Structure 1
Amino acid sequence: MSTGFFDGIAPIRYAGPDADGDLAFRHYNPDEIVLGKRMEDHLRFAVAYWHSFAWEGGDPFGGSTLERPWYPQDSMERAKAKADAAFEMFAILGQPYYCWHDADIRPDQGDFAANLKTLNEITDYLGEKAEKQGTKLLWGTANMFSHRRWMSGASTNPDPEVFAFAAATVKSCMDATHKLGGENYVLWGGREGYETLLNTDLSQELDHMGRFLNMVVEYKHKIGFKGTILVEPKPQEPSKHQYDFDAATCIGFLRKYGLEGEVKLNLEQGHAILAGHSFEHEIAVACAEGMLGSIDMNRNDYQSGWDTDQFPNNVPEVALAYYHILKSGGLGTGGTNFDAKIRRQSLDAEDLIAGHVGAMDICARGLKAAAAMIEDGGLEANLKARYSGWETPEAQAMLSSDLDTITAQVLAKGTNPRPVSGRQERLENYVNRFV
């Protein structure tokens, strides 16, 4: 049934680069072929249920500013009204996917049995709506950071009863994701970290986290879930230090606990910035290790020191991100979810639609620029030239040699290597030709 929230907003269509108005796609044409594949199939867009429908407009210094027909989010009646509005928006945008935390789609009842009952109820409701409309679930996840029970972590909590509650919660969310045909399941450890080492057994907490994730993988195979298990790096906020600091840290953790063949990464641009990296860096690290799973496309305000989760608006940043994604073979079962939110002063339904429309256009422009760079081959040609010295038999033999032998060779040659330009400025100018 209609909530009336989006009344008067027509479905968004591709209208071309010269289109007028805020609510039209200028660059996102789902059927446009890019590198032999439909644009929609490259990007695999997904609406993030939490920021679009569960966030009430608060920030660290103020309460809610947004008014929605489904607020307060304290009953199943309102949860279903929220779902109605969500699917209305998916239809307006033509979004192929969506994603959620359990706390976004149903009210937290406190005890696990009540939470399980409401989760099962809303799962059936979402399934019925998806069957009628066709919007699919990209991934589900459990919110194990908002409620006070999670204040000291979930799988890393010093209280075994909280660990057990977390395990049961993840099981229920995996069941719901599986039932809805979700293509991935994500674990983000918002409070899997510490505030102070004075009261933290770091080694034990990491072991518990590793065992917990192994349980998740074991359960995935038990129920026949064909999707990908993903973990999402973030360095801080809400914890002072989180164990899933960045892509490299997560990859090391997964290898330590024997999970590198089972779990991939869900990377968020805003989290990359908090870790002191670029989004391009985090994606390149994951791609280099064959562990890229999916992306949360947003941005932070570079003047703020926290995760502002804004819609992307920087084509060069997005283009370089998709360049590495395309080079590595694409997103697979993953996608581009908009873990992004309108500003707390943007009150209207049109603002929510406009944020997604602009973001989808930015991603489309970035994707096309990345594809053009790949087709042109300039960056790859430069890389090949820069590392060409390693193609010689002598250089390759050195990699299987030893320090004594290499030292003798250096003394015999009697040469002093001359540095070669990295050509960075010219390469930056090259990228700017496409964006």
Structure 2
Amino acid sequence: MYEGKPEHHFTFGLWTVGNTGRDPFGNATRAPMSAPYIVEKLAKLGVYGVNMHDNDLIPIDASAHERDTLVHDFKAALENYGLKVPMATTNLFSDPTFKDGAFTSADARVRAFALQKTMGSMDLGFELGAKTYVFWGGREGSEVDAGGKTLDGLRYFRDALNFLAEYSEDQGYGFKFALEPKPNEPRGDIYLPTVGAMLGFIATLEKSEQFGVNPEVAHDTMAGLSLPHAVAQAIDAGKLFHI
């Protein structure tokens, strides 16, 4: 039987292990688990680390005191069990504010909130030791293309990533950014749906050397594509930053 070891560098998302079993057709079937409890259980299985969205650890409506307590307890568990946080990301899809996009919303107030939320999440990721920062634009897209301007959306997305790369540099975070493509769900059509599309977009960014891709097997399958081919293309381009 295979036995996992930390040197294998397997990591798990807090959002996967802590999933309560809720789906579009039914409510939760499992009790929620605290982040320190998840760390403890994963450590006993020989896991290297955990990855997280900001709201996997800190509820979006948490007070400053609640935030500090949750972060303190999580960091204590990581130190106690020797787990790392190699990657962090931002939840820009669950809150109703982002129903029509986050970085690509037509509402400038929503775009500003998305940037502010992401900067806070980047601060947290750096505090926890993350080296890679993933962007998955689950709400960046459309159901009816006639209802918005795709060129505007791409421009807004580019502006956001350029801004956040500057923020990372100014703060001394040194993040490598990995863009995760997906063809659809939750939006009818998501912008930049494939690894190839993302690679083309990355070439238009001001600090393109800081950006790569984060292929995901199910996302390539949804697009009717081959994950090994996508991974090979990313490696060939020197842009496989996370997987």
* Pairwise CA distance, 1:293: 1.0
Who is 1:252 aligned against? 200
* RMSD (Å) for aligned C-alpha atoms: 1.7
Q: Check whether the contact 2:4–2:45 (CA below 8 A) recurs between aligned residues.
A: no
Larger Rg: 1
Q: How many residues align?
A: 243
Q: Counterparts in 2 of 1:193-272, with a 5 A limit?
A: 193-272=141-220
Q: Does 1:46 align with 2:11?
A: yes
* Pairwise CA distance, 1:271: 0.7
Q: Which has the higher contact order (CA 8 A, sep 6+)?
A: 1
Identity of aligned residues (%): 30
Q: Counterparts in 2 of 1:89-104, with a 5 A limit?
A: 89-104=41-56
Q: Which letter maps to 1:151?
A: K
Q: Does 1:162 align with 2:110?
A: yes
Who is 1:65 aligned against? 29
SS in structure 2 of the partner of residue 290 of structure 1? coil
Cα separation, 2, equivalents of 1:116 and 1:214: 28
Q: Check whether the contact 1:102–1:119 (CA below 8 A) recurs between aligned residues.
A: no
* Pairwise CA distance, 1:132: 2.1
* Pairwise CA distance, 1:239: 0.8
Q: Which letter maps to 1:193?
A: G
Q: Check whether the contact 1:116–1:172 (CA below 8 A) recurs between aligned residues.
A: no
Cα separation, 2, equivalents of 1:232 and 1:266: 5
Q: Which letter maps to 2:2?
A: H
Q: Check whether the contact 1:190–1:238 (CA below 8 A) recurs between aligned residues.
A: yes
Q: Which letter maps to 1:92?
A: K
Q: Check whether the contact 2:40–2:81 (CA below 8 A) recurs between aligned residues.
A: no
Q: Check whether the contact 2:102–2:139 (CA below 8 A) recurs between aligned residues.
A: yes
- Unaligned residue ranges in structure 2 (runs of 5+): none
Cα separation, 1, equivalents of 2:25 and 2:191: 27
Q: Check whether the contact 1:189–1:244 (CA below 8 A) recurs between aligned residues.
A: no
* Pairwise CA distance, 1:216: 1.2
Cα separation, 1, equivalents of 2:60 and 2:156: 25
- With over 3 angstroms needed to count, the CA separation of the structure-2 counterparts of 1:115 and 1:205, relative to structure 1, is farther
- Unaligned residue ranges in structure 1 (runs of 5+): 1-25, 31-39, 71-81, 296-435
- With over 3 angstroms needed to count, the CA separation of the structure-2 counterparts of 1:87 and 1:265, relative to structure 1, is same
TM-score (norm 2): 0.93
Q: Check whether the contact 2:54–2:89 (CA below 8 A) recurs between aligned residues.
A: yes
Who is 1:83 aligned against? 35
Residue-by-residue CA offset, 1:247-298 (whole Å, 9 max, x unaligned):
0000111112334311111111111101111211110111111100111xxx
